[in-house]
Chains A and B, each alone.
Chain A
């Protein structure tokens, strides 16, 4: 209770000139359960909830837009007052955006076809195989830079379809998203052969965004962590 009160007080203090500025344009993309987007319902998902609460605490405002992940990243890189979430923060991307996060910790796994299981004990074991991921995936780009045999589909679920059709040996996906996508596509999916990498999913904003505005959002997010408000949302898998 005391902590909640502290957060509210902090929120009050954080209402700054940001409230007077034009809303930031936030671009996101479907990545359930972090962000769910459908034609019939308002967008939802726990990463969206985190973002919404963070803006609320900071006394700032945003407008939501939707684009495929790769295009969303490019838009935020090029357009002022534009941000993208929840994307993998990585050293390769560090200089192109200003970052606030993490809004989610993602574990990523190698998935094999249920009828063609593979033994993957370390990342090196995956090197002989063809692997699907999707455009905009920080991890897909990372493995590509390490000369893994990557196929980057335009959307995450297409990577799963490639696995199902036998066009690749492995699919990499956020372990929270993978079973949801498989269920939606009515496809069988085993547990990942190996959960091999962790990324900090964050909000990445155009580099020209006001540092004071970003600092207020960052402070709000840290306050959410300190208060325990985010603990349930970001409950980590072991």
Chain B
């Protein structure tokens, strides 16, 4: 944990010039009523909020507009932190919360049209390759030391942020400052897995212990066990698998976030795999050179096809029928209803739904009946590859924002991640961003209730579960291809092999278009096509087809989380 006493000493010595009494009242009100606990002392919190009130003085009376995706953390920012910031600074904030794809379209529109639609975005760092290349996004590193120096919080303490690397581009500059992070982890019903009768039944049928699956073979057996053998627990239909399949933008990031990488489609190397990343895009230097196998990519490789075929097969065989028509949002909250035994990758952003009053997956004492653990891996996965996906929503400022609006928005952005508010925000939204909060006693005290989340974020695993990386040169342009092609395969309109082949060709075509845009740094330089067999015969990804029928393996929960 890094503490910066010098920063707070500096804050305390700043003269409170022009600080109106209403600001003092507001500060005391919010410190008493909302911003406890904190990793700061109350005096340090007060000094930090006084700094915001002072720094915001030139912008008082202004209205700014920001937007973020629809998860609990951002709802808290929009409904509570925005209000507090207005009370303390006099800057009104309209913090819109919307679907992730809607946000993607909006930031794309601002970059394409040059219109000042929003003054700041909380945009997933999956966009870092876009921001670095397009030149439309402000490098926060430059802003903090230059034009934005006077509106940069002295106690911001960047070293305390756990996800700074995710928002940092190959030029070493920070473009996106994390406001929330959540991971994609294996989720399962620890209470069911611990029942001696179910353990015995499982071992009798499959010949090994019911436990946390380490590979897809074991996951499949467990899915079969609960969906087809157990079927009912306490009079209620239960399912051994959960996913979602609606043709919707969120289907795309379900597959691009995790399915290909955990199947093992790319190469070893963190954060995303080199030279072929978790999307199956090959990169040379900083230049993407192809997604299709014939250009050295892995998007239509045997491993990628295996990933999507497994996704569809499990959706059809083991998931509740309703999952077919579900999305990221609707399926994420569904596990709280208590009918799911396990989920191969579950977004921890939905943790508040599991710990809330309507949750059916906690006992009478409010203790969780579930746990999170490392996700099982597919047959092509090898050690050294990323172990899962992590979402990091980062504050992102576009260069075409007028300077005064930019300054006001940057003040609000820092407010939402300041140490004064961040621990309280973490306890409500469960999406950690600061080491000081993660290692606080308050967060540690909740370890039992959070089913493994605290252990995950206190370990090095938080660095191995990574977002989409810099190889993806235009996330908005490319992400639509995923859900449209995978959706066709889910609906049975084309085979998975054809869908992935189409997808790789379309991505290559988009890369070719981007290659011709002279304003892009590290622009794609497409490899010339070579026979598929030639690339598959070379070491690394794209990998040739292999026998995916591996021996199933499980571990106890205690053993499984030692990997963290």
A14 to B97: give the CA distance in the assembly, Å: 38
B216: interface (CB < 8 Å): no
Which residues of B have CB within 8 Å of A195? Answer: 94
Which residues of A have CB within 8 Å of B105? Answer: 89, 200
A205 to B86: give the CA distance in the assembly, Å: 41
A198 close to B118 (CB less than 8 A): yes
CB of B147, distance to nearest CB on chain A (Å): 21
B79 close to A91 (CB less than 8 A): no
B101: interface (CB < 8 Å): yes
B100 close to A225 (CB less than 8 A): no
Per DSSP, chain A at the interface is mixed
Pick from B83, B114, B116, B247: contact of A225, CB under 8 Å: B114
Which residues of A have CB within 8 Å of B101? Answer: 91, 94
Pick from A101, A105, A122: contact of B82, CB under 8 Å: A122
A194 close to B112 (CB less than 8 A): no
Smallest CB gap from B75: residue in A: A124
Which residues of B have CB within 8 Å of A123? Answer: 78-79, 97
Which residues of A have CB within 8 Å of B356? Answer: none
Pick from B96, B116, B250: contact of A236, CB under 8 Å: B116
B487 close to A122 (CB less than 8 A): no
Query: With A90-B102, A95-B487, A123-B79 in contact, do A197 and B96 touch (Cβ < 8 Å)?
Result: yes
B115: interface (CB < 8 Å): yes
Pick from A95, A122, A225: contact of B78, CB under 8 Å: A122
For chain A, the count of residues having a C-beta within 8 Å of the partner chain is: 27
Most chain A C-beta atoms within 10 Å of own C-beta, residue among B63, B67, B95, B117:
B117
B-facing residues in A175-223 (Cβ within 8 Å): 194-198, 200, 222
Pick from A94, A124, A196: contact of B94, CB under 8 Å: A196
Which residues of A have CB within 8 Å of B63? Answer: 238
Pick from A102, A122, A197: contact of B79, CB under 8 Å: A122
Which residues of A have CB within 8 Å of B83? Answer: 121-122
A91 close to B99 (CB less than 8 A): yes
B113: interface (CB < 8 Å): yes
A91 close to B65 (CB less than 8 A): no
A95 close to B117 (CB less than 8 A): no
CB of A79, distance to nearest CB on chain B (Å): 19
A115: interface (CB < 8 Å): no
A197 to B65: give the CA distance in the assembly, Å: 9
A198 to B78: give the CA distance in the assembly, Å: 14
B112 close to A200 (CB less than 8 A): no
A92: interface (CB < 8 Å): yes
Most chain A C-beta atoms within 10 Å of own C-beta, residue among B86, B97, B105:
B105
A142 to B97: give the CA distance in the assembly, Å: 11
A222 close to B112 (CB less than 8 A): yes
Which residues of A have CB within 8 Å of B249? Answer: 91, 94-95
Which residues of A have CB within 8 Å of B115? Answer: 105, 225, 234, 236
A198 close to B248 (CB less than 8 A): no
Smallest CB gap from B65: residue in A: A198
A197 to B249: give the CA distance in the assembly, Å: 21
A196 to B249: give the CA distance in the assembly, Å: 24
Most chain B C-beta atoms within 10 Å of own C-beta, residue among A91, A102, A105, A226:
A91
Pick from B96, B100, B116: contact of A91, CB under 8 Å: B100
Query: With A91-B100, A91-B248 in contact, do A200 and B106 touch (Cβ < 8 Å)?
Result: yes
Smallest CB gap from A230: residue in B: B113
Which residues of A have CB within 8 Å of B97? Answer: 123
Smallest CB gap from A194: residue in B: B94
Smallest CB gap from B480: residue in A: A94
Which residues of B have CB within 8 Å of A226? Answer: 114
B194: interface (CB < 8 Å): no
A5 to B115: give the CA distance in the assembly, Å: 22
B109: interface (CB < 8 Å): yes
A19 to B95: give the CA distance in the assembly, Å: 44
Smallest CB gap from A226: residue in B: B114
Interface code B519-547, partner A: CB below 8 Å = 1, 0 otherwise? Answer: 00000000000000000000000000000
Given A105-B109, A195-B94, 9 further pairs, Cβ under 8 A: A89-B105, A91-B102, A91-B248, A101-B109, A124-B79, A196-B94, A198-B96, A200-B109, A238-B63
